Structure 1
Amino acid sequence: MTNTALPALSGYLRADGRKGIRNVVVVAYTVECAHHVSRMIVNAFPGQEVHLIGFPGCYPNDYADRMMKRLATHPNVGAALIVALGCESFNRRGLEEVVAASGRPVHTITIQQNSGTRTSVADGIEWVRWAREALDAQERVPMGLDELVVATICGGSDSTSGITANPAVGVAFDQLVAAGAACIFEETGELVGCEFHMKRRAATPELGDAIVACVNKAAHYYTVLGHGSFAPGNADGGLTTQEEKSLGAYAKSGASPISGILKPGDQPDGGGLYLLDVVPDGEVRFGFPNISDNAEIVELIACGAHITLFTTGRGSVVGSAISPVIKVCANPATYERLAEDMDVNAGRILTGAASLEQVGSEIVQLVAQVANGAQSCSEALGHQEFILTYKQFEPSGPGCFPLKAA
């Protein structure tokens, strides 16, 4: 296996000891009614690291509350402005307290108490300008590869995804895990039929059983809904069954032992390979588990992902707020059409211009470059997509976390 030496990494040190590869100011709205004011504030800083996140719902949800707290204290976030309407049920004070306790600058604007839209926008811009100046003066410090968290997702898959981009990411994951990084793959709804393959790779028998139960939960959820994670675009791209798509998605995980299962907002307990369970627990009540790829990217970021590797055959142009997205294109024809949006042409494997190992090592090198400040294509194009909706999860059992912190 090719494994070229990586350059030294650097990041921004946070009070909890973690390091971020970006120094973002997040503007976080706590209800859809504060979305416009928040967006106006962000729009005043084009091309700068000021990103919009938020939860649209008025009524409280433990999942959304936890997600917002994890996102606002992500290692890539240096400061947070919280924008509330004032009468929503979301616990904005609880969010502010968590961010303040993390050592980050934080400020809350409540529109109903702040003379409305114009004043709130002006005050928000003033605070973000102050926070941005403070963060711009912060210097990067040395960062180890074992401090990096890398995630992967596939979207717009076609018949080339499972033979080029996905296994190339699997090669990259194996190299990153061997170097001490934490790597997270998903999604249980797209791994139906692969549960016993994953069970054999589990670090403990208890974890293996938990993985099977996790995928069975996903299969039940989709059965009740009456559809699976299989889109018309997948069929148009040459995929024939859910199982075929699942095997391709599974290839992204590589061959390393699986260290644990995460649920959205759980943090990896050290380096290793982790499976993210994105399907809600309990009764089927929230509709499609992930209404878009970006909803899942947000959950990966909430687990601490500094970077997300996004494989696509049909082509996807999205990025994300907070953490950079690196696009790995599976199909050479798609790459030719969408080269401006793609970071890696894994379709060269199909044409014989590169080997699986070469592309995997290229991905690892690009991860290091982006971690050190180079922009991915989606970043350079200004993509900052973000989606957060209602879900419900129960705490994971001890069998899901065989690795314990010292």
Structure 2
Amino acid sequence: MNKEILQTTWDGYLRNDGRKGIRNLVLIIYTVECASFVAHQIAKDEDDVHVIGFPGCYDNAYAIRMLLALARHPNVGAVLAVGLGCEYTRPEKIAEVVRSSGRPADSFFIQHFGGTTKSITKGKAIVNTFKEEISKVPKVKMDLKDLVVGAECGGSDATSGLAGNPVVGRFYDILVEQGGTAIFEEVVELIGLKDILVDRGKTETAKQSLAQAYDKAMSYCKDVRQWSTSPGNFEGGLTTIEEKSMGAFAKSGSKPIEGVIKVSEIPSQNGLWLLDSVPDKHFMQFGYTNPNDSEGILDLIATGAQVVLFVTGRGSVIGSPIAPLLKVTGNAETFKNMEGDMDFDASKVLSGEQTMEEAALDLAKLIINVCSGMASKPEALGHREFFIPYKHQDTPSLANGCRA
């Protein structure tokens, strides 16, 4: 395959802020766990209607930032916020912020509409109205320079660092060369690589930000007495956190790193960025966070990524709301055993069937096909897992506010 595929264009959806989406979804947001059942029932049997939510009754600035960022994601056309009625996070405030972005938005409390059945009926009526409205969103041509692509890895084994992550890294190099934006995260999986990480900073400011993010991650791991390794990693052939870190870092490719962003922060320009999702120092009233793959993927989506790549050596069966998830493996056995869940087989690099460049171009073709409307494996299966925890990060500030 030659590089002509990189010039492919497709139809996207133009938003008021100039960003372009590859999907045109109605998003339902619940503002407390007590409203989650109603929210999911409203979305049931509805095409292109996704659900996210925050379970806590007490509000949390980090979580609200995420909800607001996801509600204004380029793949989202309209938003319905549903609450029970007594929680701190107020759905009408979310709808207000969404409407200011030019999207249709509405909200209600279940307590105000007579409970489950009446609320589901009301919600479905609102969703159907929104579907008609967003069908008129202007179409616009997109290509790779319009893309923000996130990358995460989980269930890693030895092939993740040898093939899965390096193929994603080579694609990232191509994406940046084409004028696109690439975001990788998991600072806690860069332990042992401080000098290598900092040396990749594009400017002195970027180098300082990378060093600070690394030091914070190291401190966090010491505080919680947990390094990002697991029995599954060891079973898959990884022996130390440093070895795992080298493999995880490979997904960043080789381009200079523009800087560090935090969760729900949009990159200020194209290029390669590191996402810092590690909590900032604070008095933890609700205990430590529970990091997992679904949280990390949603963190990437909250930065505006229209599509996310998930590298897994041992296999995974998760998906994501809002942005399509594509699962990449460097393990031929995993791809064969879990072909219904895995999108891309990077093991051909290890077997000698493909060069790294050929595999990266094949991955680019697959991503373009998904951007053009083809369902990824998780999308086709209906996987839309997500996780929004209580967490604290000092920035970005909670502009627009969302408290009662």
Mark yes or no: TM-score above 0.5.
yes
Query: What secondary structure, in the 3-state scheme, does the structure 1 residue paired with 2:358 have?
Result: helix
Task: Quote the offset at 1:126 in angstroms.
Answer: 1.0
Are 1:146 and 2:145 counterparts? yes
- Whether the 8 Å CA contact 2:163–2:347 is kept in 1: the answer is yes
- In 1, the alpha carbon distance for the partners of 2:337 and 2:302 equals 32
- Whether the 8 Å CA contact 2:331–2:347 is kept in 1: the answer is yes
The corresponding residue for 1:110 is: 109
Identity of aligned residues (%): 45
- Whether the 8 Å CA contact 1:224–1:284 is kept in 2: the answer is no
Task: Quote the offset at 1:289 in angstroms.
Answer: 4.6
Task: Quote the offset at 1:368 in angstroms.
Answer: 1.4
The corresponding residue for 2:358 is: 358
Are 1:300 and 2:300 counterparts? yes
Q: 1:309-320 to 2 correspondence within 5 Å?
A: 309-320=309-320
Which letter does structure 1 place at the counterpart of 2:43? V
Change (3 A) 1:186 1:174: same
Task: Quote the offset at 1:20 in angstroms.
Answer: 0.5
Are 1:249 and 2:248 counterparts? yes
Deviations 1:14-50 (A, max 9, x none): 11111100001011000001001101111131xx110
- In 2, the alpha carbon distance for the partners of 1:18 and 1:311 equals 26
Number of residue-to-residue matches in the alignment:
395
- Whether the 8 Å CA contact 1:281–1:393 is kept in 2: the answer is yes
The corresponding residue for 1:34 is: 35
- In 1, the alpha carbon distance for the partners of 2:210 and 2:396 equals 12
Q: 1:13-162 to 2 correspondence within 5 Å?
A: 13-45=14-46, 48-138=47-137, 140-162=139-161
- In 2, the alpha carbon distance for the partners of 1:71 and 1:396 equals 14
- In 2, the alpha carbon distance for the partners of 1:232 and 1:133 equals 49
The corresponding residue for 1:321 is: 321
Deviations 1:181-214 (A, max 9, x none): 1110011001111221121111111221221121
Which letter does structure 2 place at the counterpart of 1:14? R
Task: Quote the offset at 1:287 in angstroms.
Answer: 5.2
Are 1:232 and 2:243 counterparts? no
- Whether the 8 Å CA contact 2:289–2:389 is kept in 1: the answer is no
- In 1, the alpha carbon distance for the partners of 2:288 and 2:249 equals 20
Runs of 5+ unmatched residues, structure 2: 398-404
- In 2, the alpha carbon distance for the partners of 1:119 and 1:8 equals 44
- In 2, the alpha carbon distance for the partners of 1:287 and 1:296 equals 19
- Whether the 8 Å CA contact 1:199–1:209 is kept in 2: the answer is yes
Which letter does structure 1 place at the counterpart of 2:338? L
User: Where has structure 1 moved over 4 Å in runs of 4 or more?
Assistant: 286-290
The corresponding residue for 1:403 is: none
Change (3 A) 1:89 1:214: same
Are 1:331 and 2:331 counterparts? yes
Query: What secondary structure, in the 3-state scheme, does the structure 2 residue paired with 1:184 have?
Result: strand
Task: Quote the offset at 1:162 in angstroms.
Answer: 0.1
- In 2, the alpha carbon distance for the partners of 1:133 and 1:210 equals 45
Q: 1:192-231 to 2 correspondence within 5 Å?
A: 192-231=191-230
Which letter does structure 2 place at the counterpart of 1:187? E
- In 1, the alpha carbon distance for the partners of 2:207 and 2:288 equals 26
Task: Quote the offset at 1:94 in angstroms.
Answer: 2.1
Task: Quote the offset at 1:233 in angstroms.
Answer: 0.8
Task: Quote the offset at 1:143 in angstroms.
Answer: 1.9
Task: Quote the offset at 1:283 in angstroms.
Answer: 3.5
Task: Quote the offset at 1:378 in angstroms.
Answer: 0.8
Which deviates further from its counterpart, 81-90 or 127-136? 127-136
The corresponding residue for 1:188 is: 187
- Whether the 8 Å CA contact 2:289–2:390 is kept in 1: the answer is no
Change (3 A) 1:287 1:359: farther
Deviations 1:310-369 (A, max 9, x none): 111000111100000011111001111001111110011111111211111111121111
The corresponding residue for 2:5 is: 5
Runs of 5+ unmatched residues, structure 1: 398-406
Task: Quote the offset at 1:92 in angstroms.
Answer: 2.3
Which letter does structure 1 place at the counterpart of 2:341? D
- In 2, the alpha carbon distance for the partners of 1:252 and 1:345 equals 15
Which letter does structure 2 place at the counterpart of 1:180? G
- Whether the 8 Å CA contact 2:173–2:255 is kept in 1: the answer is yes
Change (3 A) 1:111 1:315: same
Task: Quote the offset at 1:284 in angstroms.
Answer: 7.0
Task: Quote the offset at 1:93 in angstroms.
Answer: 2.6
Task: Quote the offset at 1:91 in angstroms.
Answer: 3.0
- Whether the 8 Å CA contact 1:44–1:125 is kept in 2: the answer is no
Task: Quote the offset at 1:146 in angstroms.
Answer: 2.0
Task: Quote the offset at 1:144 in angstroms.
Answer: 3.7
Deviations 1:96-131 (A, max 9, x none): 111010111111021111111111010001111121
- Whether the 8 Å CA contact 1:2–1:357 is kept in 2: the answer is no
- Whether the 8 Å CA contact 2:170–2:360 is kept in 1: the answer is yes
Deviations 1:250-290 (A, max 9, x none): 00000001001010001011210000001000147365555
- Whether the 8 Å CA contact 2:282–2:392 is kept in 1: the answer is no
- In 2, the alpha carbon distance for the partners of 1:36 and 1:258 equals 42
Change (3 A) 1:29 1:259: same
Change (3 A) 1:292 1:100: same
